[in-house]
């Protein structure tokens, strides 16, 4: 009998890659998404796969799944500032009500649940690199707080279910991840730079460009998440690539990769934008025997090749997605 796994946010960037991974490992995958930020094209290739079932649903409403359920991966959430700043209440609801619904489902089905947390729980960190025992430096009432606090609450309620109900839980803290199926217009630095390069626009850096990020290719991220699900570790684990680079140096890498001749222009740094972001992955190495294997040059080439093949309408699509038709009044 195939094991059944529910993946929320299945039509999103990471969610769709997780669907592929679990199908390749001979699971029956139930994908769930309400398309508030997901894209049906990310799972179009799975529509005739007998090991894939899709349910269009908003997880902030009661979630009902018929039959046996062995695992749940909760990846439903806006994940880029351009999204969660535009739909702040929905972002808070999916991290709180959505997580509560899925924890309840896991309890009822006696399923193991893995929730997708984020490096944003560390806020603008005062500790570098960030280890799992660092409590973070988060502005609860700032514009980014809707995402940061949704994820911090998500971790808290997950651990409460683990301690009080004995639920099998796993928590992954995801650091910057990139690869094919990212939305070109989602506002994050890699698709933003690549989109600007493909359109012949100058590359925009916010702040002085000395802030740092660490980028993990999606295949490495998915492998880390998969190993964490099947580990016996219930506390948060950082999954990311610790190779750090400044945004200014990264912009120059993009110009070299894309063989364009764009200039770099500078704009004001957004409120509470973290100045440093680098995971300490010692714990993942120890308990999962995991570390990233795909270098940035290889991963960026694969990502750029994907973006180059996108239709022109996606290349020039507005930076602001219309969420109104997806939001319940």
What are the catalytic residues? 147
Which residues, other chains included, contact 211 with Cβ-Cβ below 8 Å and sequence gap of 6+?
246, 247, 269, 273, 274, 275, 276
Could you tell me if 174 and 116 are in contact, meaning their C-beta atoms sit under 8 angstroms apart?
yes
Type and span of the H or E element at 189: helix 189-199
Between CA 174 and CA 252 the distance in angstroms is 25
Instruction: Please tell me the distance from the alpha carbon of residue 3 to that of residue 284, in angstroms, as a whole number.
Output: 25
In SS3 terms, 250-311 reads as: HHHHHHHHHCCCCCEEEECCCCCCCCCCCECCHHHHHHHCCCCCCCHHHHHHHHHHHHHCCC
Report the alpha-carbon distance of residue 239 to residue 103 in Å, rounded: 22
Phi, psi of 107 (to 5 degrees): -65, -45
Q: Are 114 and 170 in contact (CB under 8 A)?
A: yes
Measured between alpha carbons, how far is 111 from 158 in angstroms, rounded to an integer? 13
**Radius of gyration for the chain, computed over Cα atoms and rounded to the nearest angstrom:** 19
CA distance 151 to 120: 8
**Strand partners for 265:** 204
Q: How far apart are CA 121 and CA 24, in angstroms?
A: 31
């Amino acid at each position: 009998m195939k094991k059944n796994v529910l993946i929320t946010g299945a039509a999103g960037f990471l969610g769709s890659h997780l669907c592929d991974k679990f199908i390749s490992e001979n699971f029956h995958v139930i994908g769930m998404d309400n398309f508030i930020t997901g894209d049906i094209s990310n799972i179009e290739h799975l529509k005739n796969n007998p090991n894939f079932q899709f349910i269009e649903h908003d997880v902030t409403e009661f979630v009902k799944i018929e039959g046996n359920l062995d695992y749940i991966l909760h990846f439903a959430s806006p994940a880029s500032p351009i999204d969660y700043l535009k739909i702040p209440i929905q972002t808070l609801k999916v991290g709180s009500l959505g997580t509560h619904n899925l924890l309840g489902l896991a309890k009822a089905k006696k399923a193991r649940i893995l929730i997708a947390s984020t490096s944003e729980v560390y806020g603008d960190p005062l500790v570098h690199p960030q280890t799992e025992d660092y409590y973070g430096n988060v502005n609860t009432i700032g514009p980014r707080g809707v995402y940061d606090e949704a994820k911090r609450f998500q971790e808290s309620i997950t651990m409460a279910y683990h301690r009080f109900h004995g639920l099998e839980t796993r928590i992954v803290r995801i650091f910057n991840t990139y690869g094919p199926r990212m939305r070109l217009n989602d506002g994050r630095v890699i698709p933003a730079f690549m989109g600007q390069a493909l359109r012949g626009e100058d590359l925009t850096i916010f702040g002085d460009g000395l802030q740092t990020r660490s980028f993990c290719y999606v295949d490495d991220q998915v492998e880390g998440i998969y190993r964490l699900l099947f580990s016996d570790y219930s506390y948060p684990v950082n999954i990311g690539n610790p190779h750090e680079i400044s945004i200014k140096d990264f912009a120059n890498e993009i110009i070299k990769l894309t063989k364009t001749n764009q200039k770099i222009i500078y704009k004001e740094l957004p409120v509470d934008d973290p100045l440093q972001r680098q995971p300490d992955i010692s714990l993942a190495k120890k308990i999962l025997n995991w570390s990233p294997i795909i270098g940035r040059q290889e991963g960026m080439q694969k990502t750029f090749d994907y973006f180059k093949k996108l239709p022109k309408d996606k290349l020039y699509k507005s930076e602001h997605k219309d969420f109104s038709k997806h939001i319940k009044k």
